[in-house]
Structure 1
Amino acid sequence: MKIKQTWLVSILFISNALCAQTPLQKRLQTAFARLQTDEQCKYGAVSLTVLDAKTGELVFGGNPDMGLAPGSTLKTVTSITAFNVLGKDFQFQTQLGYSGAITADGTLNGDVVIKGGGDPTLGSWRYANTKDNVVLNTMVAALKKAGIKKINGRVIGDNGAYNGQSIPDGWIWQDLGTYYGAGIAGLCWRENQFDILLRTGSVGTPVGIAGTNPETNYLQYKSELTNGAAKTGDQAYPYLPAFNSKVMYLRGTYAIDQTKKRVGAAIPDPAYDAALRLTDTLKHIGIQVSGEPQSSIMLAEKNQAVPANATGLITILSPNLSKIVYWLNQKSINLYAEQLLATISLKMGKTATAADGVAVVKSFWEQKGIDKRSMNIFDGSGLSPEDRITTSTMARILQSASSQPWFGDFYESLPVYNDMKMKSGSINSVQAYAGFQTHEGRQLCFAIMVNNYSGTGSAIREKMFRLLNELK
């Protein structure tokens, strides 16, 4: 009799819970069950959390506490943390100065030092004031104003406080030479990337290297890349072996119908590249530089230090954080996310490394009531396939942003997919979205992740959109 009573109570409880559901919750439950049982998700994992963006009330939770790989949706966590810790008007600073003294005839007996402050936009083409020619002309003007007509020394690119680990733990070897796998640096330059220009041919034949943009003759290139069949896409990967090798390899395939004929690659030492570009610019306008350009990394390898007590000439400011976050999320720029993670770490008194940055992020949200165990992450961009976070935690972090004075800037940074403002994330067999949607006058925030799906990415995205359409 007791067993029957327990069974009856359970049935009544479930029945009452179902009856208590709103029409939206019922539709979400049906749509979530349909996605979870889809053939593409047979061996996968699906999670969805929907919250009221104003109150934080749980609207729907399907496996909300399951830790899954978020891909680039993790950038929303990094962005929101940066807004909280750094402030929307934060600007990076790059210092130009010199050591030694300037003689009466305008000769600098010393070195010109470009000291980086972690600015990922220095030399970037995305903003009018950060373009490489604008930055170089600004530096040249400052040197001329100081009366420097000749440099008996070198131009040095200094990474400043960012001399630690440049690549987050968990990033895979295949990504490290690519433009999207560029490591952090105290002195970034042109988003730490350049293009390798390709000379294509017929299917199965080797792809040649036609040059680079900009010219990087301090590296050597070996192509093991082959021309792939039409519609097989860009499967080319640059590899720069460890131990300071100067030889970059291209491997994989590149479809013959690809039109761009180039592959984006990571600059191994951006501080050196910045010093090289300034040196070349000075020589071009007739200011002689006797020494070869150097970086703080190169000097450290020789057991030498960057000259101390440099006389300051000019401070170059980055765009403010709101504008940086805009492009970070619009174009999913991994470098911007990792530089912000390192900067958050410095701001909180730690080192400029991904590991310390992650620890700071976890601690920050733990103080806001979020269990740090729900964030088993290794970077700020989501490029690491080992990253795990719950949709519940991601949705709660999104919800926390909605009441902040800078929310409009963050919201504007989110791309539009499926006519919804949301950040996407995709790596191997992972598809995720996180963002906001207004439903019947009520603003909702959500995070949805599918891991280990089979089949095509386009098919799983269509099915995820079908579920998210219930929020419209």
Structure 2
Amino acid sequence: MLFKKTATFITAIMLSFAALFTPFPSHAEAHATNSYQSLENTINAILSDASIKSAMTSVTVRKASTGEIVYEANADRKVTPASTLKLLTAAAALETLGEDYRFTTDVLTDGTISNGVLNGNLYLRGQGDPTLMKKELDQFAATLSKLGVKKINGDLVGDDQWFDNIRLSPSIDKSDETYYYAAQISALTLSPNADYDAGTVIVDAKPTKKGYKPKISVTPDEGIVTIVNKANTVAKGKRNTLSIKRQHGTNKIMVSGNIPVGSSKREWVTVSNPTAHTLAIFKSSLSSKGIKFSSTSKNVRRQAPDTAKVLAVHKSMPLKNLMIPFMKLSNNTHAEILAKTMGKKVYGEGSWNAGLRVMHEYATSIGLDASEWHFEDASGMSHKNKVSSAQLTELLLLVRNAPWYGSFVKSLPISGIDNRFVGGTLRNRLASPSVKGKVIAKTGSLNNVKSLAGYAETKSGETLVFTILTQDHKDSTLPSIDKIATAITTTPIY
């Protein structure tokens, strides 16, 4: 994605990345000299403020060039990392799968084509591609049409056996299941747009006339989702109380409340059973090409036989490109899909148990203390996940030596850059001229948990590696976290 900026700003960003790409030598666990005393005093003052003082915190700052500790406060305290856990997930995936890894989705048959009729079953087989969209299913349908298929005397079969049957990680509460950040994980899933929130549909609500129901549309507009519209259009200026939620255990999306004239509302809503949803959309794509099924055909789920013939194949973008929407937008579904994919590659088991085992083993292999990392998912959704700022900064240091580090650091949000695929979750934070573009870091956010971990360029052009973890505070600690990040970039180092 391209965005406009001045030549001076381009130069500043390039210099920042040049510093970030510079490998560091082997480092000792040592404290830097007192040239950082001013920074230490500033951070101490921030952490002593009433707005964060009662929070459980863990903060570590290191020199990227040597690994020396510039600042630490409760560095070994284990705190819930929220989405900063994705730093480990991303690094493990790049190491285990490789930058050029692509997800495969294919169409197969166990039958033969004769006189426009496919006598046999048609299989849609997935490997968890979170970027699969309706346009790819339309292309599959077009390929079958070119092969002369007009009718199918068999079932439409979804093969999602690449992953196990567990759809939700242990941390997902029943109340979360309607929301995009808690989508079900399936090896055969579909995204509604290029944000790639797999396993969801986009629901748009627009008011009509006062006293009438609003207009509701769904993307993609076919499939197994049904809308129950109990909402009402109210006068302009009234409060928007519209609610769009999926009824638990069903594919009924309930729309209720009031929407005022002149407003609108959009929600990403999860589907129950992404495999069935993807199959239904594929059947619609086939129908649009004039391909019909016999009256006895069914949509079913099972594994394609080894003897099935491949008719069409789609490869996803490489992992290094997927890293951008994954990390910039902090996509939970991508994290969990990558975990199961790592488990499948290393242990032949597309499960959370296998995937998280790979992540622990990766941590050990690069010199981290895996016993200091406790996690039950790969996205950071669980409040039971725990790690210290010391370990996260160590990870951020060690990955700088990896051959895929360029893809890793490029995927991190950049402070104050309003382009979603550049600034990501930091696009509206740290935007002052002295900080804009100088913090490249992963954000984390859960109820009463806020975190930030990554790289920052100091006033003197040095790169520091930092992690700020906070939890158990009734008010948001984001202002304090941003003050610390600002201090790292603006405090003079003598």
Normalization by structure 1: what TM-score? 0.82
Aligned pair partner of 1:443 in 449, 452, 463: 463
**Partners of 2:225 and 2:251 within 8 A in 1:** yes
The answer on whether the counterparts of 2:94 and 2:319 sit within 8 Å (CA) in structure 1 is yes
In structure 1, the partner of 2:427 is none
**Deviations 1:90-126 (Å, cap 9, x if unpaired)?**
11111211122222x1210112111001111111xxx
Deviates more, 1:231-240 or 1:148-157: 231-240
Distance across 2 between alignment mates of 1:97 and 1:379 = 33
Identity %: 24
The residue identity in structure 2 corresponding to 1:241 is H
For the aligned residue pairs, the C-alpha RMSD in angstroms reads 3.2
* Residue 41, structure 1, aligned to residue 42, structure 2: no
Q: Which residue of 1 aligns with 2:20?
A: none
Structure 2 CA distance, aligned partners of 1:225 and 1:69? 38
Question: 2:85 matched to which residue of 1?
Answer: 74
Residue 129 of structure 1: aligned partner? none
SS in 2 for 1:445: strand
Q: 2:74 & 2:403 partners in 1: Cα distance?
A: 31
- Partner of residue 224, structure 2: 218
Task: Name the stretch that deviates more: 208-217 or 265-274.
Answer: 208-217
- In the TM superposition, residue 196 of structure 1 has moved relative to its aligned partner by 2.4
Q: Aligned partners of 1:94 and 1:429: how far apart in 2?
A: 39
State how far apart, in whole Å, the 2-side matches of 1:167 and 1:21 are: 48
Does the 8 A contact of 1:70 with 1:425 survive in 2? yes
The Cα shift of 1:357 comes to: 1.6
Query: What is the alpha-carbon distance in structure 2 between the residues aligned to residue 59 and residue 254 of structure 1?
Result: 53
1:143 Cα deviation (Å)? Answer: 1.6
Residue correspondence of structure 1 range 55-66 to structure 2 within 5 A: 55-66=66-77
The equivalent position to 1:23 in structure 2, one of 35, 48, 58, is 35
Give deviations 1:149-183, integer Å, cap 9, x for gaps: 32112322211221321211112222211112112
User: Which amino acid in structure 2 is aligned with residue 175 of structure 1?
Assistant: D
Q: Which amino acid aligns with 1:214?
A: P
Match of residue 97 from structure 1? 108
For residue 274 of structure 2, what is the aligned residue in structure 1? 270
The equivalent position to 2:473 in structure 1, one of 417, 434, 453, is: 453
Residue 22 of structure 1 aligns to which amino acid in structure 2? N
Q: In the alignment, is residue 117 of structure 1 matched against residue 120 of structure 2?
A: no
1:148 partner amino acid: V
Judge conservation of contact 1:93–1:119 (CA < 8 Å) in 2: yes
- Contact conserved, 2:177 with 2:248, CA < 8 A, in 1? no
- Secondary structure in 1 aligned to 2:455? strand
How many angstroms apart in 2 are the aligned matches of 1:367 and 1:118?
26
Aligned-partner Cα distance in 2 for 1:230–1:23: 56
Residue pair 1:70, 1:389 contacting (<8 A) in 2 also: yes
Is this contact kept in 1: 2:52–2:477, CA < 8 A?
no
Contact 1:195/1:265, CA 8 A, preserved across alignment: yes
Q: Partner residue of 2:312?
A: 314
| Alignment partners' CA distance in 2, 1:40 and 1:231 | 34
CA contact (8 A) 1:196 1:209 kept: no
Contact 1:235 1:254 in 2 (8 A): yes
The answer to whether residue 321 in structure 2 is matched with residue 289 in structure 1 is no
Matched, 1:241 2:248: yes
Aligned residue for 1:333? 331
Q: Report deviation, 1:384.
A: 2.0
Query: CA offsets, 1:62-88, max 9 Å, x none?
Result: 111111122221111111111111111
- One of 196, 218, 240 as aligned partner of 2:203: 196
CA contact (8 A) 2:223 2:281 kept: no
**8 Å Cα contact 1:223-1:250 kept in structure 2:** yes
Distance 1:421 1:405 in 2: 19
Q: Could you list the per-position Cα deviations for residues 358-412 of structure 1 after superposition, in whole angstroms to 9, with x for gaps in the alignment? A: 2221122123332223211121111223222211111111111111222112111
Distance in 2 separating the partners of 1:234 and 1:395: 43
Give the aligned residue type for 1:215: D
| Cα distance between partner residues in 2 of 1:78 and 1:200 | 42
Partner of 1:136: 137
Q: List runs of 5+ in structure 1 lacking aligned partners.
A: 1-18, 124-131, 300-304
Aligned to 2:464, the other structure's residue is in SS state: strand
Partners of 2:366 and 2:398 within 8 A in 1: no
1:233-260 residue CA offsets vs partner (Å, 9 max, x unmatched) = 9895624424xx3434468x78869944
The separation in 2 between residues aligned to 1:246 and 1:163, in whole angstroms, is 22
State the number of aligned residues: 432
User: Residue type of the partner of 1:179?
Assistant: Y
The within-5 A match list for 1:385-424 is 385-417=383-415, 418=430, 419=436, 420-424=439-443
Specify the alignment match of 2:169 in structure 1: 168
Secondary structure in 1 matching 2:401? coil
The aligned runs of 1:372-391 (5 Å cut-off) are 372-391=370-389
Q: 1:393 to 1:20 in 2, by over 3 A?
A: closer
Evaluate the alpha carbon distance shift between residue 202 and residue 312 of structure 1 in structure 2; reply closer, same or farther with a 3 A threshold.
Answer: closer
Change (3 A) 1:209 1:201: closer
Structure 2 Cα separation of the partners of residues 359 and 331 of structure 1 = 25
Q: 1:87 to 1:42 in 2, by over 3 A?
A: same
> Which letter does structure 2 place at the counterpart of 1:285?
K
> d(CA) in 2 for partners of 1:139 and 1:407?
35
Contact 1:78 1:380 in 2 (8 A): yes
Q: Residue 444 of structure 1 aligns to a residue in which SS?
A: strand
- What amino acid does structure 2 have at the position aligned with 1:96? V
Distance 2:258 2:379 in 1: 26
1:178 maps to what in 2?
A: 179
The Cα offsets for residues 418-468 of structure 1, whole Å up to 9 and x where unpaired, read as: 221111111112221111123334322211112123334653454344444
Find the residue that maps to 1:416 and give its secondary structure: coil
Q: What secondary structure, in the 3-state scheme, does the structure 1 residue paired with 2:444 have?
A: strand
Distance 1:412 1:137, change over 3 A: same
Provide the C-alpha distance between the structure 2 equivalents of 1:20 and 1:194, rounded to a whole number of angstroms.
Answer: 51
Instruction: Say which structure, 1 or 2, has more relative contact order (CA 8 Å, 6+ apart).
Output: 1
